[in-house]
Structure 1
């Protein structure tokens, strides 16, 4: 496919996404049905689609419309490229621009230029103050690719050397002692010996730093209460030596690959459907807006509503209260989000402490893209008023304890 043909394909995919279809679903279907598109073509089209999603609002303003064609025209203009070199109408390129299209569009202003819905921009400024605009701008660009070095399978320098053998260039990153930033060859990671042998895992540097902040030492009993795919459970287990991490999630199917990944990494993880305490440490990486990771999942920015954000905050508070009952007296409860919004982070911390004065905060930190990774938040509580462990059961939409 030519560069112009890739843009034409992206236009059609954006039109499908704008109807409400999930981007990943649209891209997967297109990749399976477009036999003419090689792996490099599929990757390039995916990059174009995600570039448009990151700049969904500013691209529409710059391109003069909300169709896939207008937004891709906007992306081309935002990049400073010549639209007439792409919109030629020749071969599989998009049709040539009309006079109306050439005259349409303007420079985005204010929240348009930040690619934030107006209601969300207010939350950003309330949460982040003087760094709000800088953070919003950072979320408009592609994220770096990071790897986590598994100390059970070798050192950082050994991992770098093994990756280089497969043409992957990586270097240490200061945000975490196990973090590697990949600067070349990222698309070869999944086929590399270092990855297949469990020496490295894909994981954002700030996500690794969240685990670094936890009070983990061998011998502790640890529960990952909202394990999801299990990335942080794997990172915790690697720090615990031969000690086991229990992993739980309200949607167990998310953990389907975790046993195989744990075996590959040489760590001890047990999946538990109904966790029973007490645990020395319970870690809750709760459902959230995902606002700190919108470089990787930009669609979430435009799907999020005020009502959904309020619902998420209620769920987060419920999870904290439920997980606290699984912590041994004097043990730790850790709370994390991939969000930069105060109501999901510092405000949740304050509310949780207010509900039981005997609890105390050990540490909290907000990571921002300016630190080098995604936006994450982590807080660690010491609990002195934990009641006896309770059995948690799943009911539609949430977890409850009885």
Structure 2
């Protein structure tokens, strides 16, 4: 596909998304209907679509319209590219620009001042992040890096880096957490690479890796991964400590590949509901359902689909999960509450309300990680049951 044909495809897909379709189904539908597109073309079109969604409002301002065509025109203007060369109307390229399109659009400085967040959410974002609000909103407009976690049961960081290099993948360690590797090239090769298939590395963003490193459970402790999903945090803890880990999720299908991943990593996880007797667990990890506002670089359409009503529903569910965990942790045990959100309503405010109604808990540590000091936006609060020793 020519550059113009790729832009035309992105316009078509973006119009479907703007009409209400989610990004992934829209991309899949286009790929299935476009058998002529090779893997490189599909990747390039996907990148165009996601780049446009990350900067939807500012690109629409530059392009003069909130439409697929307006977003692509705005992107070309932001990059200083030749719009006429793309909007040529030749072959499968989009039709030439109209005179109205040539004169439409805001100045770059005006467009760049937009936060690229929903209007209703911007005041909450500002209240949560203060002076960093605009810089962090703009950080969400960049593509997120791919991070890997080295499994010490299988390899050292140096061995993993060498094996990845042999597989055509370049990675460098985080200076503060050497088992965290940032992929700098070849990220699409990771799934098929020998070190990944052998359990030497797992995909996991730097921020949750840092959060897991704060927990440091003692060998032999009973751990409940309450909202386990794919089980990445269970595997991260088991990679460095021998534990008895139970993984639970309200939607068990999310854990379907966890046994295979655990076997590849050389560890064992029990998939089960929490123990009915309660107060058995030394540590409960509650990575709760949330807005995902910290991951919007990876899922940019999600920020435009979030509503005030959905945020309120999520906050109510988070409070319910915290109260459930309070009945399952043993006296002296800990709850690690986590979100991939940057919003106070889901983070500090949620914990403050929990401690107010559950005064046997204290909060010795709270951290908010952002793209400015880690990778994804991520919040962790460690809550200790005050009765007994931890």
Shorter-chain TM range is: over 0.9
- Can you list the C-alpha shifts for 1:41-89, whole angstroms capped at 9, x where unaligned? 1111110010011011111111111221111111221222221121111
Aligned pairs for 1:138-157 within 5 A: 138-157=139-158
Give yes or no for the alignment of 1:25 onto 2:25: yes
SS at the partner of 1:118?
coil
Q: Which residue in 2 is equivalent to 1:391?
A: none
- C-alpha displacement of 1:375: 0.5
- C-alpha displacement of 1:163: 0.1
Q: Which residue in 1 is equivalent to 2:291?
A: 289
Q: Which residue in 2 is equivalent to 1:333?
A: 335
Q: Which residue in 2 is equivalent to 1:390?
A: none
Counterpart Cα distance in 2 of 1:175 and 1:348: 29
Counterpart Cα distance in 1 of 2:255 and 2:273: 11
SS at the partner of 1:115?
coil
- C-alpha displacement of 1:323: 1.0
Q: Which moved more, 1:154-163 or 1:113-122?
A: 113-122
- Can you list the C-alpha shifts for 1:206-238, whole angstroms capped at 9, x where unaligned? 111111111322211001000112221211221
Q: Which residue in 2 is equivalent to 1:166?
A: 167
Q: Which residue in 2 is equivalent to 1:59?
A: 59
- C-alpha displacement of 1:111: 9.0
- C-alpha displacement of 1:274: 4.7
- Matched residues, number: 385
SS at the partner of 2:147?
strand
Q: Which residue in 2 is equivalent to 1:105?
A: 105
8 Å contact 1:175–1:206 — kept in the other structure? no
Match of 1:364 among 363, 366, 374: 366
8 Å contact 2:235–2:262 — kept in the other structure? yes
What's the TM-score once normalised by structure 1's chain length?
A: 0.93
8 Å contact 1:148–1:200 — kept in the other structure? yes
Counterpart Cα distance in 2 of 1:19 and 1:336: 33
Q: Which residue in 2 is equivalent to 1:396?
A: none
- C-alpha displacement of 1:377: 0.4
Q: 1:385 to 1:154 in 2, by over 3 A?
A: same
- C-alpha displacement of 1:110: 7.7
Structure 2 portions without partners, runs of 5+:
none
Q: Which residue in 2 is equivalent to 1:5?
A: 5
Counterpart Cα distance in 2 of 1:335 and 1:175: 23
Aligned pairs for 1:3-402 within 5 A: 3-107=3-107, 109=110, 113-241=114-242, 243-276=243-276, 277=278, 278-384=280-386
Q: Which residue in 2 is equivalent to 1:398?
A: none
What's the TM-score once normalised by structure 2's chain length?
A: 0.95
Counterpart Cα distance in 2 of 1:368 and 1:331: 28
Counterpart Cα distance in 1 of 2:141 and 2:272: 38
Structure 1 portions without partners, runs of 5+:
387-402
8 Å contact 1:366–1:376 — kept in the other structure? yes
8 Å contact 1:216–1:239 — kept in the other structure? no
How big is the alpha-carbon RMSD for the aligned residues of Structure 1 and Structure 2?
Answer: 1.6
8 Å contact 2:58–2:111 — kept in the other structure? no
Counterpart Cα distance in 2 of 1:83 and 1:168: 34
Q: 1:293 to 1:104 in 2, by over 3 A?
A: same
SS at the partner of 1:239?
coil
SS at the partner of 2:181?
strand
- C-alpha displacement of 1:36: 0.9
- C-alpha displacement of 1:257: 1.1
Counterpart Cα distance in 2 of 1:308 and 1:3: 38
SS at the partner of 1:378?
strand
- C-alpha displacement of 1:12: 0.5
8 Å contact 2:59–2:111 — kept in the other structure? no
Q: Which moved more, 1:197-206 or 1:31-40?
A: 31-40
8 Å contact 1:217–1:239 — kept in the other structure? no
8 Å contact 1:204–1:373 — kept in the other structure? yes
8 Å contact 1:57–1:112 — kept in the other structure? no
SS at the partner of 1:16?
helix
Counterpart Cα distance in 2 of 1:223 and 1:201: 21
- C-alpha displacement of 1:112: 6.4
